[in-house]
Structure 1
Amino acid sequence: MKAFLKKILIGILLLFVVAQFFRPEKNVGSMESLKAFVEETKPSIEVQNILSKACYDCHSNNTNYLWYSNFTPVNYWMADHIVEGKEELNFSEWSSYSTKRKKHKMEEVYEEVEKKHMPISPYLITHSEANLTDEEIKLIVDWAKEQHNNY
C-alpha cells in the first residue's frame, strides 16, 4: 500500500511539473491604452490611484502579475478572471464603447463599488491594498455618478 501511495504522489508531482510548461497568454499591454479613458472621464489623482490599485489588473489590457501567477493551475484561474473582467468592462477599450454603453458602464461601476461587489474577494486575498476604504468608495462612487450623468 505504501509503494502504491508513493507512486501516486510521484505521478501527481510529475503532472504538476509538466503542467508548468503550459501557460495561458498573459494580459500584458501598455498603460498608454488607458489614455483615452482618463482623458474622457477626467478622474482626479485620488480616483486614478484607486482605479490603478483596485481595477485595472482585471479591467484593462495590462495586468500587473505577481509571483504566484507563474504557477499552473493558478495562472489559468487568473486568466479566466481577467477575461471575465474585461468582458464586463475594459477601460483600455473605452473609446470603442458607444455613449449609451459608457453611461451604463459608469452606472455599473458606482453600483458594484457601492455594494462592495468590486473588487472581488479572491483578488483582495493577495491584493490587500485594493480593499477600499469607505472614503475611497465614496470617491469612486461620486466620480462614476458624475460621469454617468455627463453621458
Structure 2
Amino acid sequence: MKKIIVVLLVAFIMIQFFPIDKTNPPPTPGMDFLKIKNSPEKIVKIMRTSCYDCHSNETKYPWYSSISPVSWFLKNHINEGRKHLNFSTFAVYEPKRQLHKIEECIEMVEKKEMPLESYYVGHQDAKLTDEQRSDLVQYFKRVKEDTERGIMFNK
C-alpha cells in the first residue's frame, strides 16, 4: 500500500512539469460580439461573468488551472467552448451562422444548460439568477430579430 501511495505521489509531482498554455489570443474588439451588437452594460456584465471564460479569447484562468491534471481538463473545456462559440471572433461568422449561434444561446440559457453546472464549482458569481437568465434570453431574442432583418435586407 505504501508503494502505491509513493508511486501516485511521484506521478502527481511529475505531471506538474507539463503545464497548459494559458496564453489568450490577442483581443479583437472589432469582432467581439458585445461590441458589434452594442450590448447594454447590464448584459455585458452578465456575459463577461458567466460566458466569456469559456466562449471568448478573454479567459481568466483560476488558481487551480496551475495544477495538473485539473488544468488539462480545464484547457480542453475552454478549447471546446471556443470551438463551439467564440464571442471574441463573432463578426467573422457568416450571418446565417451568427443567427444559428444566437438561437443556440437562447435555447441553452432557457434550458439552463449554460453556464454548465461544473463551472459553478469555482465561479459562484457566474450562477445566473432567474432575472439575469430572463434578461439574457430577451437580449438574445432581440439580437436574433436584428440579425434576421439584416439577412433579409441583404438578400
TM-score by length of 1: 0.91
**2:115 aligns to what?**
119
Matched-pair contact (CA < 8 Å) for 1:59–1:82: yes
CA distance in 2, matches of 1:76, 1:113: 26
Which of the numbers 13, 17, 29 marks the counterpart of 1:21?
17
1:60-75 paired onto structure 2 within 5 Å: 60-75=56-71
Q: Aligned residues: percent identity?
A: 38
Q: 2:5 is matched with which residue?
A: 9
Find the counterpart in structure 1 of residue 28 from structure 2. 33
Note if 1:95 corresponds to 2:71.
no
Q: Structure 1: give runs of 5+ residues left out of the alignment.
A: none
Equivalent pairs, count: 146
- Unmatched tracts of structure 2, length 5 or more: 148-155
TM-score by length of 2: 0.89
> Using the alignment, how far apart are the partners of 2:21 and 2:63 within structure 1?
16
Rounded Cα–Cα distance in structure 1 between residues aligned with 2:36 and 2:19: 35
1:104–1:76 CA distance, 2 compared to 1 (3 A): same
SS in structure 2 at match of 1:149 = helix
> Higher helix fraction: Structure 1 or Structure 2?
1
Contact between 1:34 and 1:91, CA under 8 Å: does it hold in 2? no
